[in-house]
Amino acid sequence: MARFASSRSDGQDRKKRIGTATKKGLRTARALDRLHDRGVDLSEHLDLAHASRPGREVQRVNVDFPLDLLHEIDVEARRIGVNRQAYIKLRLADAVNAR
């Protein structure tokens, strides 16, 4: 196919090169996806020191429980195989989601 040197085609080529440069990030993501799909360890590609889960910030709270309730919580937590804190979080999440 013959190529004509005009100002229009030159501008299109420039736009195409710019567009390709911005798509390199997509190629990298696709490459990482392929590595992940093959089961390759991706930890060398990640900066885990700055990793976070959006929307999962934690704030510590103190709650006082009556001893008999705390004992029942411990029994139930052992029954389902989690620690006390995990059980309380599970039950609170269930209660909030049930609304």
Confirm whether 84 is domain-assigned: yes
Which of 48-52, 79-83, 93-97 is least confident?
A: 48-52
Could you tell me if 42 and 62 lie in one domain?
A: no
Name the residue with higher pLDDT: 69 or 31: 69
Mean pLDDT along residues 57-83: 96
Confirm whether 3 is domain-assigned: no
Q: Phi and psi for 84 in degrees, rounded to 5?
A: -60, -45
Q: What is the pLDDT of residue 29?
A: 80
- How many helices and strands (H and E) does the chain possess? 4, 0
Q: How confident is the model at residue 26 (pLDDT cuts 50, 70, 90)?
A: very low
Q: What is the chain's mean pLDDT, rounded?
A: 79
Could you tell me if 69 and 40 lie in one domain?
A: no
Could you tell me if 97 and 68 lie in one domain?
A: yes
Mean pLDDT along residues 58-87: 96
Could you tell me if 36 and 65 lie in one domain?
A: no
Q: Which domain holds residue 30?
A: 8-47
Helix H segments across 23-58? 24-37
- Number of structural domains, the chain? 2
Work out the end-to-end distance of the chain between its first and last CA atoms, rounded to an integer number of angstroms.
Answer: 66
Could you tell me if 60 and 42 lie in one domain?
A: no
Q: Phi and psi for 63 in degrees, rounded to 5?
A: -130, 135
Please check whether residue 82 is in contact with residue 90, taking contact to mean a CB–CB distance below 8 angstroms.
yes
Could you tell me if 32 and 62 lie in one domain?
A: no
